[in-house]
Amino acid sequence: MSALIIPYDQLSPEALQGVVEEFVTRDGTDYGEVEVPLETKIAQVMAQIKFGKAVIVFDQETDSTTILRSDDPLVKALG
């Protein structure tokens, strides 16, 4: 995997919103038994990114982004 960590503050607010929204609406993103509103999911992920608990990762091979926990082994390997 050829990946880069993208600092969230280098994205426009619209781009950041789009990356986070795409991530939280992805199939397989599970928030448990209780349905959580989209706005809440977005706010939670944004907070994790801004507090350094999650990072945006861009995969150059697939031309796609994902959001990973800061303590994820892949993030540590990139860092």
pLDDT at 1 over 80: no
For the chain, the structural domain boundaries read 3-78
User: Would you place residue 47 in the very low, low, confident or very high pLDDT band (cuts 50, 70, 90)?
Assistant: very high
Residue written as token pair 């800061």: 70
Residue from 6, 41, 36, 5 nearest 21 by CA = 41
Cα separation, 19 vs 31, in Å, equals: 18
Class of domain 3-78 (CATH, top level) = mainly alpha
pLDDT tens for 63-77 read 999 999 999 999 999
- Look at residue 8 in the predicted model and tell me its pLDDT: 97
pLDDT tens for 9-34 read 999 999 999 999 999 998 666 666 77
Does pTM top 0.85 for this prediction?
Answer: yes
